[in-house]
Chain A
Amino acid sequence: MSKKIQGLTIQFMPYSEIEALKSGDRIKKILDIILDNKLVVIQGKLKSEEEARLIEDTMALVGRIKGFKGVELAVISPDVKKRDVLSNLRHNLANALVGNTEALTVIGPASIIKEMKKDPRKLEIIQKR
């Protein structure tokens, strides 16, 4: 008998959806999607402190929620070194005004995503069997 192929839902989260939220609420919103067994693609990137908080909150949930094993997380960003000074200035100004929306943050439940391999601007998502 053939094994049923498990589907994977990808939810896109535009930056505007989390822009006004406080760090704790941002992380809660993300974790709610993950706990729903979906992979979330966020426009932009979290602050380093928010990433650390995401790991802390994730660890607090492991063992408390049945079947939850944590998250797989990766951020891909454009190569800023390849930009000229003017272009860099323009992007920095845009980031200061509307936040860093150039990167993409991909977060998925570890129970579904086995691994995310980044190398460095290519992202390979390996799903669990």
Chain B
Amino acid sequence: MVIRIIKNFFKRMFSEIFGKKKNVSLGFYGPPNAGKTSLANKICKDWTGEEIGKVSRIPHETREVQFKEQVDIKYKDKNLIFKLIDTPGIATKIDYEDFMKFKIKKKEAQKRAKEATHGIIESIEWLDDVDAVVIVIDATENPYSQVNITIIGNLVARKIPVLIVANKTDLKTADLKKVEAAFPEYEVVGISAKYGTNMEEFYESLFRLAGKVKRR
């Protein structure tokens, strides 16, 4: 019995030291227009000087999965290499007429809608290929949306560690407490990706998240 306890202790200790992944595939997931690309851009700019993709006020601007390999992030005395995977926003409905409200012509709106539906499918398929996920939620919106719950449920089922980012805290209607209340079992960090507010706390949480990633 005692031998088994000691054996388990050393097994756990060695897996803690050697079992962690050095190169982490980090997915950015969430509903459309929550600021996934803005956050991924901020990280990329901070550590590579380049951006990952274009941002827009029009929903579904990201309609294909975008990557940035070998993003070497340093925090305090540690450093980790990430592959950033920026995914199209997940939604349960797409209406091309919604794009026309942004003065986009019908044909182009229909094309965007088609691409957006493919993007959503691609996002879901990528759930199997990420080591950890940052779920980006618009802190001015109702956090109890089923899309958020579905994404988290799928990550939990796959045993993928999750960090929730409540973005757009620079806006008056942002409600960080409501996001925290909606997801009491998860770490929630409030940031403004647009202005780079509270990124220090974000990086601290990101390293904690990466620490939960085991070799798969």
Given A71-B93, A75-B149, A120-B182: A59 in contact with B114 (beta carbons within 8 A): no
Q: By the criterion of a CB under 8 Å from any partner CB, how many residues of chain B are at the interface?
A: 27
Query: Which of A51, A52, A56, A62 is the one whose CB lies under 8 Å from B113?
Result: A62
Given A118-B144, A120-B144: A52 in contact with B124 (beta carbons within 8 A): yes
Would you call B142 an interface residue if the criterion is a C-beta within 8 Å of the partner chain's C-beta atoms?
yes
**Chain B residues whose CB sits within 8 angstroms of the CB of A48 once the complex forms:** 150, 153-154, 156-157
**Chain A residues whose CB sits within 8 angstroms of the CB of B94 once the complex forms:** 59, 62, 69-70
Q: Which chain A residue shows the least CB distance to B184?
A: A81
Question: Measured between alpha carbons, how far is A54 from B118 in the docked complex, in Å?
Answer: 14
Would you call B146 an interface residue if the criterion is a C-beta within 8 Å of the partner chain's C-beta atoms?
yes
**Chain A residues whose CB sits within 8 angstroms of the CB of B90 once the complex forms:** 55
Would you call A110 an interface residue if the criterion is a C-beta within 8 Å of the partner chain's C-beta atoms?
yes
**Chain A residues whose CB sits within 8 angstroms of the CB of B117 once the complex forms:** 59-60, 62-63
Would you call B127 an interface residue if the criterion is a C-beta within 8 Å of the partner chain's C-beta atoms?
yes
Q: How far is the CB of B117 from chain A (nearest CB, A)?
A: 4
**Chain A residues whose CB sits within 8 angstroms of the CB of B142 once the complex forms:** 117-119
Q: Are B144 and A119 in contact (CB under 8 A)?
A: yes
Q: Are A51 and B93 in contact (CB under 8 A)?
A: no
Question: Measured between alpha carbons, how far is A75 from B144 in the docked complex, in Å?
Answer: 10
Interface size classification for chain A:
20 to 34
Task: Produce 1/0 per residue, B102-126, CB < 8 A to A.
Answer: 0000000010011001101100100
**Chain A residues whose CB sits within 8 angstroms of the CB of B113 once the complex forms:** 62-63
**Chain A residues whose CB sits within 8 angstroms of the CB of B124 once the complex forms:** 52, 55-56
Q: Which of A30-66 contact B (CB under 8 A)?
A: 47-49, 51-52, 55-56, 58-60, 62-63
Q: Which of B119-151 contact A (CB under 8 A)?
A: 120-121, 124, 127, 142, 144-147, 149-150
Task: Produce 1/0 per residue, B81-106, CB < 8 A to A.
Answer: 00000000011111100000000000
Question: Measured between alpha carbons, how far is A69 from B95 in the docked complex, in Å?
Answer: 5
**Chain B residues whose CB sits within 8 angstroms of the CB of A18 once the complex forms:** none
Query: Which of A59, A75, A119, A120 is the one whose CB lies under 8 Å from B120?
Result: A59
Q: Are B153 and A51 in contact (CB under 8 A)?
A: yes
Would you call A125 an interface residue if the criterion is a C-beta within 8 Å of the partner chain's C-beta atoms?
no
Q: How far is the CB of B181 from chain A (nearest CB, A)?
A: 8
Question: Measured between alpha carbons, how far is A39 from B93 in the docked complex, in Å?
Answer: 15
Query: Which of B91, B121, B157, B182 is the one whose CB lies under 8 Å from A60?
Result: B121
Would you call A74 an interface residue if the criterion is a C-beta within 8 Å of the partner chain's C-beta atoms?
yes
Task: Produce 1/0 per residue, B10-38, CB < 8 A to A.
Answer: 00000000000000000000000000000
Q: How far is the CB of B123 from chain A (nearest CB, A)?
A: 9
15 A-B residue pairs with CB within 8 Å: A48-B156, A51-B150, A55-B90, A55-B124, A55-B147, A60-B121, A62-B93, A63-B117, A70-B91, A70-B95, A71-B92, A73-B146, A75-B149, A110-B93, A118-B145
Give 18 A-B pairs besides A59-B117, A70-B93 with Cβ atoms closer than 8 angstroms: A48-B153, A51-B153, A52-B150, A52-B154, A55-B124, A55-B150, A58-B92, A59-B121, A60-B117, A60-B121, A63-B114, A70-B95, A73-B92, A74-B146, A75-B149, A116-B146, A117-B142, A118-B146
